[in-house]
Structure 1
Amino acid sequence: MKEIVLIIRPEKLEIVKSILDEYHCGGMTISTAMGCGTQRGSLEGVNEIKGLKTNINLLPKIKVEAVVEDNILEDIFLAVIDKVGTGNVGDGKIFVRNIEQVVRIRTGERGSKAL
């Protein structure tokens, strides 16, 4: 099993939710986030920290976390790239982490059954 973490544009959330549903993802966690990549975001303001001027270059993003079976990982990648990508800077990233075990607290089920 893998945990996928998608950092996406806020307006793309419904598309990502439908992709995960299409691949029968058992659940997901959604969080709002602020961040920037290599484009360094946009200038939102200037902050004074100990006399040092720093730019706040953070853009609003959505963080989607889900645990999926290994065999559907590549299909999810391709669907997200196809349906979420605009070809412009700031489309987002997908991070993947190994999941050693999943346990459903209510029933004690483990592994794929707990998803």
Structure 2
Amino acid sequence: MTKIEAYLRPNKLDVVKSALGKFGIHGMTALEVIGCGLQNGYTEVIDGYEYDINLLPKIKIEVIVADNIVDDVVKLIADSARTNKIGDGKIFTYPVGSAMRIRTGETGDDVI
């Protein structure tokens, strides 16, 4: 099993979620996060004071998938989230040692 963690533009969540659902992946976690990278943020003037806003809103999604479909899912997420502009996000993968469904006690690939 592999955990896929993707940081996306907030407006791309529904597109990515829909694409994952069509691929057969219905379980995911989505979090609202803030972060910075190459996008560098922007300067905003509020009540006459300048503020550098360099932590921008993003969505972090996490999915656990079988090892044999990791490349397909990463490509699907990237293709769904891409705008070809700085700030599209990043995708990371991590091996998952074990998993258990609490309700039934199932373990391994049966959990996903």
TM-score band by shorter chain is: 0.7 to 0.9
Q: Which runs of 5+ in 1 are unaligned?
A: 46-53
Question: For residues 62 and 42 of structure 2, what CA distance do their matches in structure 1 show?
Answer: 25
With structure 1 as the length reference, what TM-score do the two structures score? 0.83
Contact kept, 8 Å, 1:28 with 1:66, in 2: the verdict is yes
Does the Cα contact within 8 Å between 2:2 and 2:93 map onto a contact in 1?
yes
Structure 2, unaligned runs of 5 or more: 46-50
Counterpart position of 1:84? 81
Counterpart position of 2:62: 65
Cα pair distance change 1:44/1:28, threshold 3 Å: farther
Moved over 6 A (4+): none
Paired residues of 1:42 and 1:59 also in contact (CA < 8 A): no
Give, as a single letter, the amino acid of the residue that structure 2 aligns with 1:39. Q
Shift of residue 44, structure 1, vs aligned partner:
5.0
**Deviation at residue 72 of structure 1 after TM alignment:** 1.2
Q: Could you tell me which residue of structure 1 aligns to residue 48 of structure 2?
A: none
* Shift in alpha-carbon separation, 1:58–1:44, aligned structure 2, 3 A: farther
Q: In the comparison of the two structures, how many residue pairs are matched?
A: 108
Q: Which residue of structure 2 aligns with residue 101 of structure 1?
A: 98
Using the size of structure 2 for normalisation, the TM-score is: 0.86
The Cα shift of 1:5 comes to: 0.7
Map of 1:10 onto structure 2: 10
Distance 1:44 1:107, change over 3 A: farther
Q: Percent identity?
A: 45
Q: Which amino acid aligns with 2:88?
A: D
Q: CA contact under 8 A between 2:42 and 2:52: conserved in structure 1?
A: no
